[in-house]
Amino acid sequence: MTAIDPTAHLTAEQIEELGRELDSIRDEVIADRGEEDAAYIRKVISAQRKLELVSRGVLLFSIFPPAWLLGTAGLSVAKIMDNMEIGHNVLHGQWDWMRDPKIHSTTWEWDHVSPADQWKHSHNELHHTYTNVIGKDNDLGYGIMRVDEDQKWHPFHLGQPLWNFINACFFEYGIAAYDLELGKNLHKRRRKNPEFRARARAVGRKIRKQVLKDYVIHPLLSGPSFLTTLAATFTANLVRNIWSHSVIMCGHFPEGVQVFERRSIKGETRGQWYLRQMMGSANISGSRAMHFMTGNLSHQIEHHLFPDLPSNRYAEVAVKVRALFEKYELEYVTGPLPKQVFSAWRKVFRLSLPNKKPEVKTPDREQELVAA
């Protein structure tokens, strides 16, 4: 929550007009979806499965260093493709219009320890509804980081660079814990809740399945290459986790991205919701290959505006969206990956320290921020 509102120059009428213009951009893409888009996602899924199969085949001989390097690199890329350009976007319902039961948000399961249905609730329903609203959007800092100067500082926050690094290394497990809302459910009384226990069992089953596949079956199939295949799979998961975490951080946490109070969204209109997505997201600039490897979440602003549009259309949408930023005199936060990563981590470190000049807050404001 910046001291100066970067949208203060907009009138209510301008905000609603902005919303109508964004609706028009979305409607154009919806009307234009077709076989070319369907062919794209089918081609991506086919390529990912072939790459994973070949990489795991190469790792059967991972006792030889060249095979280890080649298989690990291929498996890392395959896992990133599965999570980012395929899993994340299929589970958003971006391809439901195809009416293909094999590529549908209700049937898809991904290479991730978080069950698809739990992730869809926490991500699609909560995060995308309450983007960057402190106390409502759990994606904002994942409950382990201070994300705004106005949040009350505690000594615990000194460790948030370390917590964030650990979360990056084991990101899929952090997401599973976040989907379970594990922090607030650790209380003994909450742990006995039947709904929570059922969801926890589902996560446990998914973790067992993933561990069995990655760390038991495939290494055993490698015979004398058991240990090297085990190490390769762990490395591939580590690479996938750090990459995914970095992309998400760059889209939500760099300097210039706004956060919002809960009371600010009371009575929010469609235009105001759009405006919050615009100001609460950041993009990553780069090549087509880089956009692909991020699952097109390098176009995070466009994704937050239109989460159900096919990801392969975000690049063309971004041109029109950026023009609207310029028209309404708003800052389009973007930059190359190294710059955005540095900006996000600098913010993590800065907010781990207490404010030099703490502001005086009203009781209501203080209570809201502490609760967050």
* pLDDT recorded at residue 2: 54
CA distance 48 to 163: 32
pLDDT for res 135: 77
Q: Please tell me the predicted confidence (pLDDT) of residue 363.
A: 41
The whole-number pLDDT of residue 81 equals: 98
Which residues, in sequence order, are bridge partners of residue 133? 260
The residue count for the chain: 372
Question: What is the pLDDT at residue 82?
Answer: 97
- pLDDT, position 162: 95
- Residue 282 contacts residue 340 (beta carbons within 8 Å): yes
d(CA 254, CA 274) in angstroms, rounded, equals 19
Q: Is the distance from CB of 152 to CB of 370 less than 8 angstroms?
A: yes
Amino acid found at 3: A
* Residue that is written with structure tokens 């609203």 in the block: 133
Paired tokens of 86: 């395929």
Q: Are 163 and 145 in contact (CB under 8 A)?
A: yes
Q: How far apart are CA 232 and CA 242, in angstroms?
A: 15
What pLDDT does 364 receive? Answer: 45
* Three-state secondary structure call for residue 240: helix
Ranges of residues in the chain whose predicted pLDDT is under 50: 358-372
Which of 287, 218, 284 shows the shortest CA–CA distance to 79? 218
